[in-house]
Amino acid sequence: QKEVEQNSGPLSVPEGAIASLNCTYSDRGSQSFFWYRQYSGKSPELIMFIYSNGDKEDGRFTAQLNKASQYVSLLIRDSQPSDSATYLCAAHTGGFKTIFGAGTRLFVKA
């Protein structure tokens, strides 16, 4: 069964620190990977996606992909209390089917 695994957390970091969120996936055929942020009671919001090995930066966010290790990560620099949310990692398999991880809860302490 195709799976995406995440540490459920909570991950607690002080304001201004770097938050590192990690994810592994089981299906080597997965083509692209997505990070979503979900605030309590809200729907998931796309932060960024990555499909090539290496790093991809967008503002304070950096996604990292290592296909050999089947590993995806999201770094949040200069973490803010407003970044406190659940972060969902997702992998696209064939036919636009997306497999979601269970999410990691992040708390940024002011």
Residue type, 71: Y
Rg (CA), the chain: 13
DSSP 18: P
Kindly identify the residues of this chain, within the stretch 35-74, that bind another protein according to CB under 8 A: 42-46, 49
22 scored as a contact of another protein (CB under 8 A):
no
32 scored as a contact of another protein (CB under 8 A):
yes
Give the residue with the Cβ less far from another protein, 5 or 17: 5
Residue selected from 88, 91, 106, 108 as contacting another protein according to rule CB under 8 A: 88
**Structure-derived torsion over alpha carbons of residues 68, 58, 34, 37, reported in degrees to the nearest 10:** 130
